[in-house]
Amino acid sequence: MSIKAKSVSGIGWLSFANSANQLTTLVVFVVLARHLTLEQFGLVMLAVLINNVFTIVFKEGIVDFIIKNDDEADGDTTATAFWLLLMLAALCIAIQSGVIAPFVDHFFSADTSVYLAAMAPIIFLNAMSVVNLANARKKFNFKISALRNFINGLLTGIVAIVMALLGYGAWSLIISRVAGALGSAVILWYEEPYRPQLAFNVKHAKRIVSYSAPILQFRLLSYLSGRMPEFLLAAFAGPAALAVYRVGGRLIEAVNSLLLDSIANVLVTTFTKLRDRDTIEPYIRVTSALLAILAPVYMGCGALAPELTHVLYGEKWAESSIVLTFLSLQIVPAVLKMVAITLFKTRDRTSKLRLLGILDIVSSALFALTATTGSPSTVAAGVVISALLTCAFYLAASQKTFGISGVSVVKGGSPYCIASVAMFAIVYPLAGLLLSHMPPLAAAMVAALIGALIYAAIILVFFRRQSLDLLAELLFLLPGRLKKLFVKREIMPVEEKAKNRKDAF
Distance CA 344, CA 245 (A): 32
Distance CA 351, CA 457 (A): 44
**Given 200, 229, 261, which residue is the final one in a domain?**
200
Task: Look at residue 485 in the predicted model and tell me its pLDDT.
Answer: 47
Is residue 427 one of the residues assigned to a domain?
A: no
**Given 184, 200, 216, which residue is the final one in a domain?**
200
Q: Which residues, 6+ apart, have CB-to-CB distance to 87 below 8 Å? A: none
Is residue 330 one of the residues assigned to a domain?
A: no
Is residue 9 one of the residues assigned to a domain?
A: yes
pLDDT digits (tens, 9 = 90+) for 35-93: 777 777 788 888 888 888 888 777 667 777 877 776 665 667 888 888 988 898 899 88
Distance CA 357, CA 76 (A): 31
Is residue 213 one of the residues assigned to a domain?
A: no
| pLDDT band, very low/low/confident/very high, at 492 (cuts 50, 70, 90) | very low
| Domains in the chain, number | 2
Is residue 455 one of the residues assigned to a domain?
A: no
Calculate the average pLDDT of the chain.
79
pLDDT digits (tens, 9 = 90+) for 105-119: 777 766 778 888 888
**Given 200, 229, 257, which residue is the final one in a domain?**
200
Q: What string of DSSP letters covers 349-388?
A: -THHHHHHHHHHHHHHHHHHGGGGGT-HHHHHHHHHHHHH
pTM score of the predicted model: 0.69
pLDDT digits (tens, 9 = 90+) for 253-307: 877 776 776 676 666 666 666 655 555 667 777 888 888 888 999 999 999 998 8
Is residue 142 one of the residues assigned to a domain?
A: yes
Question: Residue 3: pLDDT above 70?
Answer: no
Question: Residue 450: pLDDT above 90?
Answer: yes
Is residue 479 one of the residues assigned to a domain?
A: yes
Question: Residue 170: pLDDT above 90?
Answer: no
Is residue 103 one of the residues assigned to a domain?
A: yes
Give the domain extent around 46. Answer: 1-200
